[in-house]
Structure 1
Amino acid sequence: MKIKETVNKHYPNAKTGTEITESYLSLLETEYKSDLKKMLFATSVCSDDVNVSTDFRKVLSRPFTMGGLGGLPFSGFTGMVAFSHHIPDGGDAFIFYGPHIGITDEGELGRMRRIGQSRLTNSCGALMLALERFIKKNEEPIYVPQNVYYDYQQIQLEQSLMPFKHDIINSENPKKAITDYTYIAIDKQIKQLVKMSIKEFSCKRIFLLGGVIINTSEEFNDYVDVRNFDVVNTEKPNNFESVSILETEAFKNL
């Protein structure tokens, strides 16, 4: 089975990272007349070295890194405010975010063959660890993530997923489910941080592109399953609204 068919079996709408890059940068330029040379790019994706699925970095300079384990925006409010202060004059802000999940050549989710390795390893490792803890501890005593200074990102990631624990471990595919719920957590946190800091942005627009990154073996392209593409108008700080453009004609014609 070709890798595209393998990926699309689980993520029917997923496209390669290159396709996503070209489509969305073209949309920003043609539909929104955005000057990419004046756009500041930020990411909130997992710190895993495999997360170079898109080519945004090749076009948009100086990416601002917000994400940590699992893709949660661990740079927090301080990071978002710092990002808002770095937008070039007359430019726009663009944030790409989401979790990632590996897929083997045979179609197993949550695992992948990394560059230079013959063995399979977990992807996302942090999410698969959280899942293991949720499943193994699904009896008395109930597992409750406890903050420790030496692993606070992993613990905070697990705490963010605890409200979804029951649904995750009882789903048809827990590995896919924990990734999907992590996307929900990241999306919520990114939009909350933007809302909290919106008065700090000197630009008029903030573009938010969120999705799930699908990691494949090194000879194949990685994929992205886009979940939302929003534009935030910073000139309405007291009436914050993230307006989805997924249904616009321009988007449908990508």
Structure 2
Amino acid sequence: MLQRKFDQVVKKYFPNAMDAKDTSIHYLGKMQNDHKIDVSKVLMATSVCSDDINVPSTTFFNVLFGPFIMGGLGGLPFVGQTGMTAFAHHIPDDGSAFIFYGPHIGITLEGDLGKMYRPRQEHAGNSCGALMLALSRFQEGGYTPVLNENDYQQMKLEESLIPFRQDIIDSDNPQKAITEATYEVIDQKIHEYIKTCKDEFNVEKIALLGGIVINTEYGLDDYFDARNFEIIDVQNL
């Protein structure tokens, strides 16, 4: 019953979102049946936020090798070209690559975006915490980028979102807007790194699934709003 109520709340903001477990089954099936990818020889990489709440979001983890962790705060692939190269070198012989990527956002049963109830906590907290921190700073009148090498990932996350700042703070739903903008940044970087590291991949196909992870509540399934599913032919990059 509670899952059904969450389904209605999630679909209000993300009408195309699917239960995370159903997402895994759906796209594993597409890879295997539509694109003839042997899922027993697929190494998975993730570029999702390092937040612990994202670990159980999909059952890809139970089927594929990996994951190779690319994402840091906000889900940006902070491993860069060196990390993409390492991932390419770890793929099974005659196997394929799969990269699952995107930011995450919490939602409460009351419909509050950017919030969620975490395990054994009575009060709702931020999700994604890094993005909500960036949003609060963006909304300050005299915002300037944080120059703190001891907080490198947050600094680079905010720097990458500055081009979207005005659109975010002018949005009717800035929590959703900053999440959408972060997806665009991650998507662009993943494609850029694949292209620059293409010669490192000894595979025919790289499968990508990008979108937004929607965190619900402890004990309930999360959701995933897919934005991009593609099979890259490495030879034609």
- Give, as a single letter, the amino acid of the residue that structure 2 aligns with 1:76: G
Map Cα deviations across residues 181-213 of structure 1 (whole Å, 9 max, x no partner): 000000000000001001110001111100000
1:60 aligns with 2:64: yes
Q: Which residue of 2 aligns with 1:222?
A: 222
Q: Which residue of 2 aligns with 1:46?
A: 49
- Cα distance in 2 between the residues matched to 1:5 and 1:97: 24
- Cα distance in 1 between the residues matched to 2:119 and 2:224: 19
Map Cα deviations across residues 161-184 of structure 1 (whole Å, 9 max, x no partner): 000000000001000000000000
How far is 1:233 from its partner?
A: 0.9
**TM-score of the superposed pair, with normalisation by structure 1:** 0.90
How far is 1:147 from its partner?
A: 3.2
Runs of 4+ in 1 over 2 A off after TM superposition: none
Percent pairwise identity: 53
- Give, as a single letter, the amino acid of the residue that structure 2 aligns with 1:11: F
In the alignment, which of 125, 130, 133 is matched to residue 121 of structure 1? 125
Structure 1: gaps of 5 or more residues: 241-254
In the alignment, which of 12, 16, 25 is matched to residue 15 of structure 2? 12
- Give, as a single letter, the amino acid of the residue that structure 1 aligns with 2:18: K
Structure 2: gaps of 5 or more residues: none
- Cα distance in 1 between the residues matched to 2:13 and 2:136: 21
How far is 1:116 from its partner?
A: 1.3
How far is 1:10 from its partner?
A: 0.3
Written as runs of structure 1 = structure 2, the 5 A alignment for 1:99-248 is 99-136=103-140, 138=141, 142-236=142-236, 240=237
Alpha carbons 2:41, 2:65 under 8 Å: kept = no
Map Cα deviations across residues 56-111 of structure 1 (whole Å, 9 max, x no partner): 01001221000000000000110000001111111110000000000001111000
**TM-score of the superposed pair, with normalisation by structure 2:** 0.96
- Cα distance in 1 between the residues matched to 2:64 and 2:43: 7
Judge which range, 146-155 or 122-131, deviates more: 146-155
> What value does the CA root-mean-square deviation take over the aligned residues?
1.0
- Cα distance in 1 between the residues matched to 2:161 and 2:213: 18
How far is 1:218 from its partner?
A: 1.2
How far is 1:153 from its partner?
A: 0.1
**What SS does the corresponding residue of 2:53 show, helix, strand or coil?**
coil
